[in-house]
A = this chain, B = another copy of it.
């Protein structure tokens, strides 16, 4: 074996001091968020009603390539970062492949995923602005947990609207958040106007992410001292998550390794965008070439079967409009255990890069994903989150192809987190009771019909 260790840990001083903003190097900038009433690009002032001012500025900043990471955030990062870059020697040996496989592992923290990287940043700016707290929604619970941890550390209030069925079915995630002091409310709830409206209409509803977003936004905007925060999709989130790719690149550069292919799972795009950003920067600047692969669930295929169009980010239609690959905000993904990937849309940044042909996408079925997850757990020791396992599936498939062709491809993928709170899904798989759900064209058509049909292009200045 080469002189590359199983795990490459950077030193604390090598934790990046700046995030990288890939938008600065994009020729075709991502389309701006639009005010749903005026259909004009959201201004800093408008965004500041919902987000902290500094985060609103980051959301709009598509020119500065580097943005300083405040020392206070770096101190928090030091508690769980640098995250290891792992050489999957055992998996390579097991697959008997000439491919070299690396993964950036973001699961070594209590939130169990990369979400903490942006949670601490968003909480920090809220604290700095003198706010009392933040509001958010959570589905699978990884984002809510991460935000609870960040808020506990900074002494901020944290109000989480948790989709009611998750609240009931994932009581342990809920308890982690409560242990960190968060106020967790099952959504829809009686605490907001939108919640009360929905409950009056559908008293037995088990809730949805779209409804929880609307409640969290309402709870934020009705108080001067709260703002709303979000764990994915937004460009500010991709900015914070660039730390994943920056650390990975530094670690690979140390050993003179250049990945040929970089693979990440894609729901709203926070992990994938963060992982690929610095590599994509090199590609955009014409310095190096890489193959980027987004892996999404076949049950929610926004890249591979969606449309590139302006759409609502939430089902309540209170948030700004974003141009993105989307299945329509009315599209209800069928039950899937990778809750973190069940989003109808996709980051505007990644959508533009995909539309420009700078990256590719594949969709995989749930059972294929869990087969890869179980294999990976047994060989590499880490029990992966269902979301992360989408990337594992494609990494294994590529490594097997290399065995056939003899190609010594270097593969890097993002292992976003652990599956410790996903054992109901593993149980279904272990019991042979897991099915696959692939929407028909008819299913998708219904979602597309819900797309706003205004001609938005007239308002976009490029």
Cβ contact of A382, chosen from B110, B420, B426, cutoff 8 A: B110
Judge whether A110 and B426 touch: CB under 8 Å.
Answer: no
| A322 to B418 Cα, complex, angstroms | 40
Closest to A105 in B: B108
Interface string of A158-184 (1 = CB under 8 A from B): 000000000000011001101111000
Q: How many residues of A contact B (CB 8 A)?
A: 41
Judge whether A7 and B78 touch: CB under 8 Å.
Answer: yes
**Among residues 368 to 383 in chain A, which have CB atoms less than 8 Å away from a CB atom of chain B?**
374, 377-383
Does A152 lie at the interface of the complex (its beta carbon under 8 Å from any beta carbon of B)?
Answer: yes
Does A223 lie at the interface of the complex (its beta carbon under 8 Å from any beta carbon of B)?
Answer: no
Residues of B near A426 (CB, < 8 A) are 175-176, 178-179
Does A66 lie at the interface of the complex (its beta carbon under 8 Å from any beta carbon of B)?
Answer: no
Residues of B near A178 (CB, < 8 A) are 426-427, 430
Question: Distance (Å) between the CB of A112 and the closest chain B CB?
Answer: 8
Closest to A94 in B: B153
Q: A178-B430, A421-B420, A423-B172 in contact; A5/B78 too (CB < 8 A)?
A: yes
Q: A6-B12, A6-B79, A175-B427 in contact; A180/B378 too (CB < 8 A)?
A: yes
Judge whether A149 and B11 touch: CB under 8 Å.
Answer: no
Cβ contact of A423, chosen from B11, B176, B378, B427, cutoff 8 A: B176
Cβ contact of A153, chosen from B9, B110, B378, cutoff 8 A: B378
Does A90 lie at the interface of the complex (its beta carbon under 8 Å from any beta carbon of B)?
Answer: yes
Residues of B near A255 (CB, < 8 A) are none
Q: A153-B379, A153-B381, A381-B109 in contact; A175/B430 too (CB < 8 A)?
A: yes
Residues of B near A11 (CB, < 8 A) are 5
Judge whether A383 and B153 touch: CB under 8 Å.
Answer: no
Judge whether A171 and B427 touch: CB under 8 Å.
Answer: yes
Question: Distance (Å) between the CB of A83 and the closest chain B CB?
Answer: 11
Judge whether B171 and A423 touch: CB under 8 Å.
Answer: yes
Closest to A173 in B: B423
**Among residues 407 to 443 in chain A, which have CB atoms less than 8 Å away from a CB atom of chain B?**
418, 420-421, 423-424, 426-427, 430
Interface string of A87-114 (1 = CB under 8 A from B): 0001000000000000000001110100
